[in-house]
Amino acid sequence: MGLDDPLPGDFDNSRSSSFRRPTENMDNLWSGAGIHLDNLRTSAAFVRELQQATLGDPTEGLSCEGLESLCNPLRGEPSASVNEDTWLAIDLYLGTLSEAMYETVCIAILCHLPGTDLLSYYRAKCLVADLSGVELIVHNMCVNSCVVFTRPFLELGSCPVCYEPQYDQFQIQMSDGKDRAPCQEFHTIPIGPQIQVLYRTPETAMHAHYLCEECSCVLSEIQSKGCLAEYLDVLHSTNLIDMFEDGCIEEDDIVLMFLIDSAQLYAKKVSACWIYIWVLFNLPPSLCYKKSFVFISGFIPGLNNPKNIDSFLLLRLHHLVSLQKEGLQIWDSTLECKLWSKVFLALLTADGPGMMHITGLVGYHSKHSCHLYCGLAGHHEEHGKHYFPALLKPISYSVEGSAHDDIDIKDLPMPSCKKYHQNLHYLLASPSESQYRARHLATGISKPSVFSGLVPSATLGLPHSASSDIMHLAMLNISDLMISLWRRTMDCTKPDDRST
């Protein structure tokens, strides 16, 4: 099959705007049967792990107390029974960067106020967990940040990528392996308890009723006028409105956005720390992006970039899928009653390179690089490997495999879950590496996304849940492009010349 031949799920020009998930059973896709390549088989294994998630599974990492409070949410504000000195210790714990800093500040306070009864760092940490029900869960990871040692890597003694040991070998020799210390640790915070804490305080619980009120207003306006007069929020999107109308999202449900990004820790050192978070769309736009209301979920410490990011995401997505299956119990302090909420994942967000990792779609220099999966095919130079999403065919251009005519942006096909799954089936059935590369190029997919393991009725599903990176486009990419063009400093290849 040539690259220009139609694929089983090739892109077409249909512009139907109806949003419906595919109805066919996708379970056979993740069984591993018919998958010949190891990397694809591993990706499918992560999806299969999520589909089997339950709250009582040890993979969750929750303590017995944490599981109990998740199933029977605590009531009352967390600070109700705390005295002033203890609250001071809690403020220090939440506001300091390290245990050493905490102890230093405590010593300074005791020098000036000798009678102050301050908790140790460990006791303050335990008290915060007890009062809030929010636990920090620790997992073993590769010392080079390649993978987390969770299923299917749970029983491995060394990293499957770099072969570094999971545990400190010197300590194993000293202690006969009785108290093995991991070479590196990965810290996560489950989302369920964080949401429960938000609803325990009347003020924040009242803010979280925004979704219910806004849904009612949106549906009422559409029913009376046929459409919305203004689009001011993510909740006004066509896909989410369909979910409201179908009853997939109800008034007591939780709607989340996932975001992941890397950060360079030091200006003059090689370092890469990755953080992923949840944004709660139950809160109004004026609050949901504020630091106090953003829920941190995982910290990948670096210094290297993760090699298998699915293993780092699996742990907290496992918790999310458990809540999607079994529901999240919430004590609403404003209504003074217990709610049973479904947890719906609306959007996946990241920059271009990050989105490639979480969606399993290709990078931005590939033939079908759009992360909205609209099917736009790029052009590449005659001897170049990078594709560029140019709508107009270059003059005197006849490069084989990318010499399609001009594209009218108004005629781009709509993203389709059905097309995505058809193309994913086609990719997973690749019998060899060479066929994989050809199908990877033709479909715009590099691997299954771990997010495919979510409960289908509790997510928009790929490609609809993927977002575009408009921030970098407007603030960095276009400005850099235009300034370099005006100043004749833009990179170009022969026969083009900077002077012209």
Q: What is the pLDDT of residues 346-378, one digit of tens each?
A: 999 998 888 888 999 998 888 988 888 888 888
Residue 69 in domain? no
Is the pLDDT higher at 269 or at 370? 370
* Contacts of 260 by beta carbon, 8 Å cutoff, 6+ apart: 274, 275, 276, 277, 309, 313, 349, 350, 354, 357, 358
Q: Which of 112, 132, 152 is the last residue of a domain?
A: 132
Residue 398 in domain? yes
Q: What is the pLDDT of residue 43?
A: 92
Q: Are residues 446 and 372 in the same domain?
A: yes
Residue 492 in domain? no
Instruction: Please write the tens of the pLDDT for every residue from 110-157.
Output: 898 888 888 889 888 888 888 888 888 999 999 999 999 988 898 888
Q: Are residues 347 and 387 in the same domain?
A: no
Q: Are residues 323 and 208 in the same domain?
A: yes
Q: Are residues 176 and 106 in the same domain?
A: no
Is the pLDDT higher at 243 or at 13? 243
Q: Are residues 329 and 377 in the same domain?
A: no
Q: Tell me the angle at which helices 38-51 and 417-428 cross, rounded to the nearest 10 degrees.
A: 130
Residues 421/29, Cβ–Cβ less than 8 Å: yes
Q: Which structure tokens are listed for 218? A: 């949106």
> What is the number of structural domains in the chain?
3
Q: Which of 352, 380, 397 is the last residue of a domain?
A: 352
Q: Are residues 199 and 329 in the same domain?
A: yes
Q: Are residues 339 and 378 in the same domain?
A: no
Percentages of the chain per state (helix, strand, coil), in multiples of 5: 40, 15, 45
Q: Which of 326, 352, 378 is the last residue of a domain?
A: 352
Helix or strand run (H / E) with residue 276: strand 273-280
Q: Are residues 108 and 164 in the same domain?
A: no
Residue 8 in domain? no
Q: What is the pLDDT of residue 24?
A: 47
Residue 95 in domain? yes
Of 81, 122, 83, 11, which is closest to residue 420 (Cα–Cα)?
11
Query: Quick check: 196 pLDDT over 80?
Result: yes
Q: Are residues 180 and 257 in the same domain?
A: yes
Residue 2 in domain? no
Query: Quick check: 268 pLDDT over 50?
Result: yes
Q: Which of left, alpha, beta for 225 (phi over 0: left; psi -120 to 50: alpha)?
A: alpha
Residue 59 in domain? no
The whole model's pTM is what?
0.86
Q: Are residues 193 and 299 in the same domain?
A: yes
Range of the domain at 120: 75-132
Strand runs labelled E in 90-164: 137-141
Q: Are residues 292 and 209 in the same domain?
A: yes
Residue 458 in domain? yes
Q: Are residues 41 and 128 in the same domain?
A: no
